[in-house]
Structure 1
Amino acid sequence: MINFNGNTLADDSKFLNHTNRGFRYGDGLFETLKVVNSKILFWEDHYFRLMSSMRILRMEIPMEFTLEFLEKEILGLVKVNKLENTTARIRFTVFRDAEGFYLPENNNVGYTIEAVEITNPFYVINDLPYEVELFKDHYVEPGLLSTLKTGNKLINIVGSVFAKENDYNNCLLVNNSKNVVEALNGNLFLVKGNEIKTPPLSDGCLNGIMRRQLISILGSVEEYELKEESISPFELQKADELFITNVIIGIQPITKYRKKTYRTNVVKSIVGKLNVKVRLS
């Protein structure tokens, strides 16, 4: 079952037509959330990012879109799908619900909520080999829009096809200054000695929720120095560790990039702190 503008519909319902602006122009945003035993992880961070993104896109935010209302809608769908006692992946999509060409006739919005069951209520480290490569066919154009989770993810899609065609687990995206920005499905962190770097938002990376959690955690750990600085492709092969973060997987260590292999010592020490933060939040 899915939620469409507050109404619960069967998964195979046909509720969008050809004039939908999300379909036509990618005129929409989405949040990917993890729900564990009816608790939305990092819900306030997700909510305020969504509200900020809607304002940036000049969408009309409905009066009922309060923190409490959207939480109730999400958890209501979780319950309808009988996922309240397990772990679920939620996609909350909001789109401008208006006709028109590039110029919409109004700034009203509609929304959908989808829920599917996933494993691992806690964040765990995947010890399997995980190889990445740079994707350089297209570049991320840094700017405020590149930091948002919009409905336009063509670089991520084409990069994912490239990765599959070449037997990579993931690809790293670069911006038009040739700096490494992020992975196809998450933010990037680089470890060298006691220094941990992640690209700044000004380089064009997603303003990720898990990125925010890791920055908070690492900022309070004395043995590491966290820096938000540009990462050049040259630095990848000099790093001790690389890892990717997003809300669903938590932390994904990279084990190989070209001829370079990486350790996972720092990653394994951080994941425990992340799970503690989840339990206390």
Structure 2
Amino acid sequence: MVNSNGNLVKDNEALLPIANRGFAYGDALFETIRVNSGEILFWEDHYFRLMASMRILRMQIPMKFTPEFLEKEIKDLIKINDLDEISVRIKITVYRDAPGLYTPTSNEVNYIISASKLETSFYTLSEEKNEVTLFKDHYVVADLISTLKTTNKITNVLAGIFAKENGFDNCLLLNSNKMVIEATNGNLFLVKGNTIKTPPLEDGCLKGILRTQLLRILEKLEDYVVEEGSISPFELQKADELFITNVISGITPITNFRKKEYTTTTSKRLLGILNSRIRLGA
């Protein structure tokens, strides 16, 4: 079952008209959320990112879109799908629901919430090889829109296809200034000595929820120097560690880039701290 604008319907009955603006123009955004045994992780950050994104896209935010309303919608959907005792991936998609071509006749919205089962209750560190390469066929424009989770993600799609066709596990995306900004499915962190660096939002990387959580954690760890700064492709091979973050999988170490192999010491430490905060409800 999915929640289609407040109505619970079977997955194959949640149909959208061909004129749907999310389909026709990518005039939509989405929020991907992890829920562990009925507890929505980082809900406040997700909610405020969703509201801020809607404002930036000039969508009309419904009066009923309070944190309490959306939280209840999520939990009701989880319960009706018998997923309330396990970990769940929730996806909220908000699309502008109006006639028109490029210019809509109004800014009113509708929404869809879907739920799917996750395999692990907490974040785990993969021991599998994760070899990446740079995706140079297309670049991300470094602007505010690029930091949002809109349905305009064709560069990520093409990068994923490129990785698959060429025997890589992932690709790193570049912005129009040829700086490395993120992976196809998450934010990028670079470790060199006791310095941990991640691209700034000004470079066009996604304003990731787990990126935000890790920056908060790192602020309190005195043995690390944290930097939000541009990362050039040349820095990748000088790093001790590279890892990718997203709210569903947590922290995913990069094992290889070109001839460079990376360690996972910092990744493991940060993952332990992250999981302990989740257990404590922090």
Which residue number in structure 2 is paired with residue 157 of structure 1? 157
TM-fit CA distance, 1:167: 1.3
Q: Is the 8 A contact 2:21 2:96 kept in 1?
A: yes
Q: Which residue of structure 2 aligns with residue 172 of structure 1? A: 172
The AA in structure 1 aligned to 2:190 is L
Name 1:227's counterpart in structure 2: 227
Please tell me the residue identity of whatever aligns with 1:42. Answer: F
Residues 139-154 of structure 1 correspond to what in structure 2 (within 5 A)? 139-154=139-154
Pairwise CA distance, 1:75: 0.7
Other-structure match for 1:12:
12
**What residue ranges of structure 2 are gaps of 5+ in the alignment?**
none
CA distance in 2, matches of 1:98, 1:215: 38
CA distance in structure 1 between the partners assigned to 2:66 and 2:209 by the alignment: 19
Cα distance between partner residues in 2 of 1:199 and 1:65: 32
Give 2:278's aligned residue: 278
SS in 2 for 1:231: coil
Q: Is the 8 A contact 2:188 2:244 kept in 1?
A: yes
Deviation at 1:15, TM superposition (A): 2.5
Alpha-carbon distance in structure 2 between the residues aligned to 1:124 and 1:226: 23
Report the residue type matching 1:137 in the other structure.
D
Contact 2:4–2:14 (8 Å) recurs in 1: no
1:51 aligns with 2:51: yes
Task: Confirm or deny that 1:246 pairs with 2:261.
Answer: no
AA in 2 matched with 1:163: A
Distance 2:256 2:14 in 1: 43
Counterpart of 2:24 in structure 1: which amino acid?
Answer: R
Measured in 2, the distance between the counterparts of 1:202 and 1:30 equals 21
Structure 2: distance between partners of 1:68 and 1:277: 23
User: SS of 1:244's equivalent?
Assistant: strand
Match of 1:136 in 2: 136
Q: State the partner residue of 1:97.
A: 97
Runs of 4+ in structure 1 off by over 4 angstroms are none
Distance across 1 between alignment mates of 2:193 and 2:271? 18
Residues in 1 aligned to 2:15 and 2:254: alpha-carbon distance in whole angstroms: 40
Q: Does 1:114 align with 2:114?
A: yes
- Classify the secondary structure of the residue corresponding to 1:70: helix
User: How many residue pairs get matched?
Assistant: 281
Q: Distance in 2 between matches of 1:278 and 1:235?
A: 32
Question: Which amino acid is the alignment partner of residue 126 of structure 2?
Answer: N
CA distance in 1, matches of 2:219, 2:6: 40
1:71-92 deviation per Cα after TM superposition (whole angstroms, max 9, x unaligned): 0001110001100000110110
**Equivalent position SS for 2:142:** coil
Cα distance per residue 1:153-182 (max 9 Å; x no partner): 000000100011011111000011110000
Taking structure 1 as the reference length, the TM-score comes to 0.99
For residue 67 of structure 2, what is the amino acid of its counterpart?
Answer: L
1:23 matched to which residue of 2?
23
1:41 aligns with 2:41: yes
Report the equivalent of 2:181.
181
Q: What residue identity is the alignment partner of 1:229?
A: G
Q: RMSD across aligned C-alpha pairs, in angstroms?
A: 0.6
Q: Which residue of 2 aligns with 1:3?
A: 3
The answer to which of 217-226 and 237-246 deviates more is: 217-226
- Larger displacement relative to structure 2 (13-22 or 190-199): 13-22
Partner-residue secondary structure (3-state), 2:99? coil
* Corresponding residue number in structure 2 for 1:204: 204
In structure 1, what residue type is equivalent to 2:233? Answer: P
* Preserved CA contact (<8 Å) 2:2 2:14: no
Is 1:216 aligned to 2:247, yes or no? no
TM-score using structure 2 length: 0.99
1:258 aligns with 2:258: yes
CA distance in 1, matches of 2:129, 2:223: 27
Q: Distance in 2 between matches of 1:70 and 1:84?
A: 16
| Percent identity over paired residues | 60
C-alpha distance in structure 1 between counterparts of 2:168 and 2:90, whole Å? 26
Distance 1:117 1:14, change over 3 A: closer
